[in-house]
């Protein structure tokens, strides 16, 4: 299934697709069965420079706008691969680029661009606070030239396979701040230095191969200069990055929808039952046609959001709605693809059941559909805040 017409990143997509062809279904099936990290795939993307797409050229990256990163991630999904192994490097990057000091950028960005360091872990969600980020309980206390971190995160994906983690922690107690979103700070944690010394990582086995973890901080000491930007403004920094995250995840969902639709239409043309291709039946055609229409509509909104983001314009409406619609489109395409394949859709060798499990996540994470609808109700329609 082709990408949108008039795409400025057609050349990039072709190159990404070539790389992905080296990692066929067998590769992903074996990783999925073992719940193993696709290290070879991530290494290949790193060596080709794709994971440094958003790093400015002066630091050794490609200096692409967000739309370029979206094209890379969409294409990975459309080729049947899974960018979840490394997509965070794209969306976390903005916090370091926008709010990091010159010294932090000089220290980390060239090494990330060269593939010597991975910035893949994002520690926001906690077991007790969930979606209510401002209620998080992990604290960072300043002691001389260090911060001492205590608490717990959950669903910190790729923590075992990343060198760096972007961490959100409370630095001023909630009772002492005017707004509950104040007093939170962002840190760039070099996990290699603290693993086993205040930092414990425990993998969580999930319905798909996502390498997500619980992370525990027990008097974990990190240097004073691990703080990104100003102390107490971390919530705003994370919010700043959320539109980018939503647009990139939406692009991945569009890629997934393309994969499901390509797979389903090819099969519907060749599978003959009752003496004719199943794709000749409108009962088979219509769910695919509907999912295609949903995918194209989501894509248009996501492209608009990307254009606004890259132009420095507000894009919360497009990013939120685009993410919701793209996740729904990928799910509609997944359902239609599974049904089109009948019983064969459940056989692992077709890869459909694996992609089906993988794409389902995006209606829940990184932000659930309910919370997007709340955003639209409150910020777009002007209705009273519900929570
Ligand atoms: C595989 C996986 C990977 C993840 N990776 C990361 C990661 O790398 N880093 C990270 O920080 N987090 C990560 N997450 C966490 C993810 O962002 C959260 O799971 C998600 O934001 C939902 O939070 P929760 O699970 O605590 O659900 P809850 O907040 O407990 O919500 C449960 C349900 O209630 C609904 N709900 C809650 N409040 C309201 C409301 N006011 N109105 C309407 N409905 C409401 C939600 O929509 C949801 O359906 C990951 C999660 C998963 C499953």
Per-residue pLDDT of the chain (387 residues; tens, 9 = 90+): 777 667 889 999 999 999 999 999 999 999 999 999 999 999 999 999 999 999 999 999 999 999 999 999 999 999 999 999 999 999 888 999 999 999 999 999 999 999 999 999 999 999 999 999 999 999 999 999 999 999 999 999 999 999 999 999 999 999 999 999 999 999 999 999 999 999 999 999 999 999 999 999 999 999 999 999 999 999 999 988 999 999 999 999 999 999 999 999 999 999 999 999 999 999 999 999 999 999 999 999 999 999 999 999 999 999 999 999 999 999 999 999 999 999 999 999 999 999 999 999 999 999 999 999 999 999 999 999 998
| Token pair for 12 | 């990039």
Supply the range of the domain harboring residue 76.
Answer: 10-113
Predicted pLDDT at 5: 64
Spatial separation of the C-alpha atoms in residues 311 and 269, rounded to whole Å: 42
- How many residues are recorded in the chain? 387
Is there a contact between 206 and 356 (Cβ–Cβ < 8 Å)? no
Predicted pLDDT at 7: 83
As a whole number of Å, the CA-based R_g of the chain is 21
Tell whether 5 is covered by a domain.
no
The total of structural domains in the chain comes to 3
Q: Do 230 and 248 fall into the same domain?
A: no
Spatial separation of the C-alpha atoms in residues 344 and 302, rounded to whole Å: 33
Q: Do 181 and 89 fall into the same domain?
A: no
Distance of CA 105 from the midpoint of ligand 1 (Å):
30
Boundary (domain end) residue, out of 113, 138, 165:
113
Tell whether 218 is covered by a domain.
yes
Beta strands per DSSP E along 158-224: 164-170, 184-190, 199-203, 213-223
Residues with a catalytic annotation lie at 245
Q: Do 338 and 320 fall into the same domain?
A: yes
Q: Do 260 and 357 fall into the same domain?
A: yes
H-state helical runs in the chain: 10-20, 25-34, 39-47, 66-78, 88-99, 102-113, 191-194, 234-270, 282-310, 316-340, 352-360, 369-375
Give the nearest ligand 1 atom to 130 CA.
Answer: 26
| Cα distances (angstroms) measured from residue 356 to each of 80, 326, 335 | 11, 14, 8
Q: Do 87 and 193 fall into the same domain?
A: no
Predicted pLDDT at 67: 97
Cis? peptide before 366, omega within 30° of 0: yes
Q: Do 224 and 202 fall into the same domain?
A: yes
Predicted pLDDT at 1: 73
Per-residue pLDDT reduced to its tens digit, 213-237: 999 999 999 999 999 999 999 999 9
Predicted pLDDT at 2: 72
User: Which residue is closest in CA terms to ligand 1's atom 7?
Assistant: 156
Q: Do 244 and 374 fall into the same domain?
A: yes
Distance of CA 61 from the midpoint of ligand 1 (Å):
32
Q: Do 221 and 123 fall into the same domain?
A: yes
Q: Do 223 and 157 fall into the same domain?
A: yes
Give the nearest ligand 1 atom to 387 CA.
Answer: 41
Name the nearest CA neighbour of 247 among 61, 68, 8, 56. 68
Q: Do 355 and 251 fall into the same domain?
A: yes
Tell whether 25 is covered by a domain.
yes
Distance of CA 35 from the midpoint of ligand 1 (Å):
22
Q: Do 275 and 290 fall into the same domain?
A: yes
Name the nearest CA neighbour of 87 among 211, 190, 197. 211
User: Which residue is closest in CA terms to ligand 1's atom 36?
Assistant: 370
Distance of CA 156 from the midpoint of ligand 1 (Å):
12
Give the nearest ligand 1 atom to 386 CA.
Answer: 41
Q: Ligand 1, residues 87, 158, 365: which to mutate, most atoms within 8 A of Cβ?
A: 365
Q: Do 98 and 154 fall into the same domain?
A: no
User: Which residue is closest in CA terms to ligand 1's atom 12?
Assistant: 125
CB under 6 Å to ligand 1: residues?
122-125, 130-131, 155-157, 206, 210, 212, 361, 364-368, 370-371, 374, 387
Predicted pLDDT at 94: 92
Q: Ligand 1, residues 161, 167, 203, 364: which to mutate, most atoms within 8 A of Cβ?
A: 364
State the residue for tokens 């005017």.
Answer: 178
Boundary (domain end) residue, out of 113, 130, 161:
113
């Amino acid at each position: 299934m082709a990408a949108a017409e008039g795409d400025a990143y057609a050349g990039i997509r072709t190159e990404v697709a070539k790389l992905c062809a080296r990692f066929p279904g067998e590769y992903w099936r074996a990783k999925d069965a073992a719940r193993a990290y696709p290290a070879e795939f991530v290494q290949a993307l790193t060596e080709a420079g794709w994971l440094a797409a958003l790093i400015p050229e002066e630091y050794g990256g490609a200096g692409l706008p967000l739309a370029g990163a979206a094209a890379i991630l969409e294409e990975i999904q459309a080729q049947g691969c899974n960018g979840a192994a490394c997509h965070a490097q794209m969306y976390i990057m903005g916090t370091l680029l926008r709010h990091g000091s010159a010294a932090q950028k000089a220290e980390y960005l060239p090494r990330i661009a060269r593939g010597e360091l991975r910035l893949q872990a994002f520690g926001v969600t906690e077991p007790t606070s969930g979606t209510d980020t401002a209620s998080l309980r992990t604290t960072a206390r300043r002691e001389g030239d260090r911060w001492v971190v205590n608490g717990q995160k959950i669903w910190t994906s790729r923590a075992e396979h990343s060198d760096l983690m972007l961490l959100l922690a409370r630095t001023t107690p909630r009772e002492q701040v005017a707004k509950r979103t104040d007093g939170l700070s962002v840190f760039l944690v070099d996990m290699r230095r603290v693993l086993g010394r205040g930092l414990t990582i425990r993998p969580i086995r999930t319905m798909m191969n996502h390498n997500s973890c619980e992370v525990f901080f027990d008097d974990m000491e990190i240097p004073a200069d691990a703080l990104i930007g100003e102390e107490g403004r971390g919530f705003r920094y994370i919010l700043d990055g959320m539109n980018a995250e939503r647009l990139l995840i939406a692009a991945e969902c569009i890629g997934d929808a393309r994969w499901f639709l390509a797979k389903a239409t090819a099969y519907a043309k060749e599978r003959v039952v009752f003496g004719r291709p199943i794709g000749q039946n409108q009962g088979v055609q219509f769910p695919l046609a509907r999912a295609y229409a949903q995918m194209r509509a989501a894509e248009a909104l996501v492209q608009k959001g990307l254009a606004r983001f890259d132009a420095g314009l507000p894009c919360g409406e497009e990013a939120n709605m685009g993410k919701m619609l793209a996740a729904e489109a990928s799910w509609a395409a997944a359902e239609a693809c599974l049904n089109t394949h009948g019983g064969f859709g459940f056989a692992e060798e077709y890869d459909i059941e694996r992609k089906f499990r993988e794409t389902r996540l995006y209606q829940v994470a990184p932000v659930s559909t309910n919370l997007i609808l709340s955003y639209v109700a409150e910020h777009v329609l002007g209705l009273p805040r519900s929570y």
